[in-house]
Structure 1
Amino acid sequence: MTTATTSATTAAPASRSGDRFHRGALRWVVLAGVGLGALLMIVPFALMVMNAFKSPADYSSGSPLSLPTELYTDGLAYFWERVNFPVKLWNSVWTSALVAVLATFLSLFNAYALGVGRVRGRAWIIAVFMIANMLPQEGLIYPLFTMAQEVGLTDNPWSVVIIFTVIQSAFGTYLLSSVLGTFPGALLEAAELDGANRWQILWKVVFPIVRPTMSVLMIFFFIWTWNEFFIPLVMLTSNDNQTVPIALSSLQGDRMLDVPTLNAGALVSLVPTFLFFLFFQRTLTRGVTAGAVK
């Protein structure tokens, strides 16, 4: 019996070490694949940076893949002055930030009513929100522009804020209502027994649990609104109200295109969102992995 036990004990670590070896080998394969994918994603950004510091003559005589012969920074200065970049940057920052905050909390209120309040016809309402996410912006732009004219919001950044608050909250409502639909009823009943009303239950019971998910939504809403082009292009006609993506489009002419200046503008426009992502990277990671009901 002792011999059999000893042999079994010896075989167990051997099998575990063998599994660890195979698991480690697979891990290296996955790591190599992820590294290759990351390298392929970095290549376009590297080309953008390389061409942003080329002179037009250097770009014309060489190719997009050739290294610059000198460090040319006039393209950055030309883009900064031509489009009045500080104004465009401020317009993009405050509209994106306001949309992110308003859409996130509007999503919370809607999802609280649908997921916790158990509104009649909840499934159909959530289906409407899901369908709203699939509607193309080209099909919405005419009625949106007409309504903006009717209420006096033509060429007004608040029209963009209102439109994207509603559009982004449709996705947020669909996501948060799915989370709150599985919310444990015991917690709600315990809060009601303690004398909490619905408003107190929302902020003291529901909000602390879904706060990580709301943080992720807020980051996504900011980046999505920052990158929007079509609706702001139609809604904002004056130069002082336009955003960064529209400023980039102004560099493209009908018959000629200054590629180095366009790359320089793309590089300058990318820096704020890159810094924003680095600053909220930990929040994004915690929001993806946290928020579970314990």
Structure 2
Amino acid sequence: MHATTAIVTGKPGKARPRGGMTKKRPVDWLLLALVVVGAVLVIAPFYLVLVNSFKSPVDYATSGPLALPETLDFGGIIKFWERVNFPEKVWNSILIAGVVSVLAVVISMLNAFAIGIGRIRGRSWIVLLFLMANLLPQEALLYPLYFMFKSVGLYDNVWAVIIVFTVIQAAFGTYLLSSVYGTFPKEILEAASLDGASRWQILWRVVFPISRPTLSVLLIFFFIWTWNEFLIPLTFLASNANQTVPVAISVLQGDRLMDVTTTSASALLGIIPTLIFFLIFQRTLTRGITAGAVK
């Protein structure tokens, strides 16, 4: 090998490591160690929730939180399921998060089409206004929204939470999509206009198909973000029948009779729906992020 390299290049050559692998440097090992530590820190809470969800209170008291359960005990899961009527809470969360994600994506697309492609006057100031709307803390919105929903009769109604989160998520989506649509190829739009397409047809037949990966990513994020929201649902959904999963978990944890195994079971049941949703749309999320990176 050395002789062949010397004949071709005229210089004595060095054989490459097998498989094209280079020797690990100390920096590489340090980065690998940091990644492993980060992975352990992320996985540890899920491990504690999973292990302690299937323990009995006696098993937890004797073996501690880190040990595996001696026998699988579903008492904590059954207790939480029956005490909060978990299927009802899941349906409330799915209804709110699903409607909010769809409405927020549609409104964001319409706003961004007008701002980014329509080139309305004061475009930069309008985008800045949407950005500032996302910077407002939710605590500052509670009293005005409470007074408004009380006045119109929407307090303790899921539509109050849907309206609030639709506006909040649409503000972020408008800010993001306006930047994306601002760089949209003008040649495509001009070609569609020359073919006789109206603005509505340009939106749904040209802009929407091309930006579908980005819209899919927004839809997934809006669903997960809305599902995990706690403060506003806790404030505006007073009755037990309208509560969401995070609110039901927090209310149950405030009970003095709550034990660690039931708390872990409630956390596990709260994670499972979002985990299933993420696994179902994982490929869509990956395609959307990849498409955005390529563009």
Q: TM-score, normalised by structure 1?
A: 0.90
Please list the CA deviations of residues 163-191 of structure 1 after superposition, one character each: whole Å capped at 9, or x if unmatched: 10000011111110010111111111111
C-alpha displacement of 1:251: 1.5
Give the gaps of 5 or more residues in structure 1.
none
State the AA in 2 paired with 1:285.
T
Q: Distance in 2 between matches of 1:9 and 1:29?
A: 36
Q: For this pair of structures, how many residues does the alignment match?
A: 290
**CA gap 1:193/1:40 in 2 versus in 1, 3 angstroms:** same
Q: CA deviation at 1:243?
A: 0.6
Distance in 1 between residues matched to 2:159 and 2:61, nearest whole Å: 42
| 1:76 partner letter | I
Structure 1 contact 209–291 (Cα < 8 Å) conserved: no
Q: What corresponds to 1:273 in structure 2? A: 274
What is the aligned partner in structure 2 of residue 7 from structure 1? 9
Give structure 2 stretches of 5+ with no counterpart.
none
Helix, strand or coil: the match of 2:253?
A: coil
Report the equivalent of 1:108.
109
Q: State the alpha-carbon separation in 1 of the partners of residues 113 and 15 from structure 2.
A: 50
- In the other structure, the counterpart of 1:183 is 184
Question: Partners in 1 of 2:274 and 2:54 — Cα distance?
Answer: 20
What secondary structure sits across from 1:251 in the alignment?
A: helix
Shift of the 9–115 alpha-carbon distance from structure 1 to 2, 3 Å rule, reads farther
CA distance, structure 2, for counterparts of residue 116 and residue 106 of structure 1: 15
Q: Deviations over 1:109-165 (max 9, x none)?
A: 010011000111111111111111111100011111111112110110011111100
Q: Which residue of 2 aligns with 1:205?
A: 206
Judge conservation of contact 1:209–1:293 (CA < 8 Å) in 2: no
Task: Check conservation: 1:210, 1:291, Cα contact below 8 A.
Answer: no
Percent of aligned pairs with the same amino acid = 60
Q: Does the alignment pair 1:238 with 2:239?
A: yes
Q: 3-state SS of the aligned residue for 2:113?
A: helix
Please tell me the residue identity of whatever aligns with 1:22.
T
Q: For 1:103-182, what aligned pairs fall within 5 Å after superposition?
A: 103-182=104-183
Q: Secondary structure at the match of 1:67?
A: coil
> In the aligned structure 1, how far is the partner of 2:68 from the partner of 2:21?
43
Contact 1:96 1:223 in 2 (8 A): yes
- Contact kept, 8 Å, 2:6 with 2:12, in 1: the verdict is no
Whether 1:84 aligns to 2:112 is: no
Distance apart, 1:54 and its partner CA: 1.8
Asked if structure 2 preserves the Cα contact closer than 8 Å seen for 1:209 and 1:292, the reply is no
Change (3 A) 1:20 1:246: same
- CA separation in 1, counterparts of 2:293 and 2:254? 51
Q: Secondary structure at the match of 1:167?
A: helix
How far apart in 2 are the matches of 1:149 and 1:70? Answer: 50
Give the SS at the match of 1:22. coil
The alpha-carbon distance between structure 1 residues 19 and 59, as it changes in their structure 2 partners (threshold 3 A), is: closer
**Amino acid in structure 2 at the alignment position of 1:190:** A
Return the alpha-carbon distance in structure 2 between the equivalents of residues 185 and 204 of structure 1. 15
TM-score, normalised to structure 2, is 0.89
Deviations 1:202-232, CA, capped at 9 Å, x for gaps: 1111111111000000000000000011000
Alignment of 1:10-25 (within 5 A): 20-22=20-22
State the alpha-carbon separation in 2 of the partners of residues 177 and 293 from structure 1.
19
Helix, strand or coil for the counterpart of 2:211?
A: helix
- 1:51-98 deviations in Å (ceiling 9; x for gaps): 111222333344322333332211110100000001001000111011
- Structure 2 counterpart of 1:109, one-letter code: L
Tell me how far 1:40 sits from its aligned partner: 2.5
* Distance of aligned partners of 1:180 and 1:10 in 2 relative to their CA distance in 1, 3 Å threshold: farther
User: What is the CA-CA distance between 1:258 and the residue it aligns to?
Assistant: 1.6
Output the amino acid matched with 1:204: R
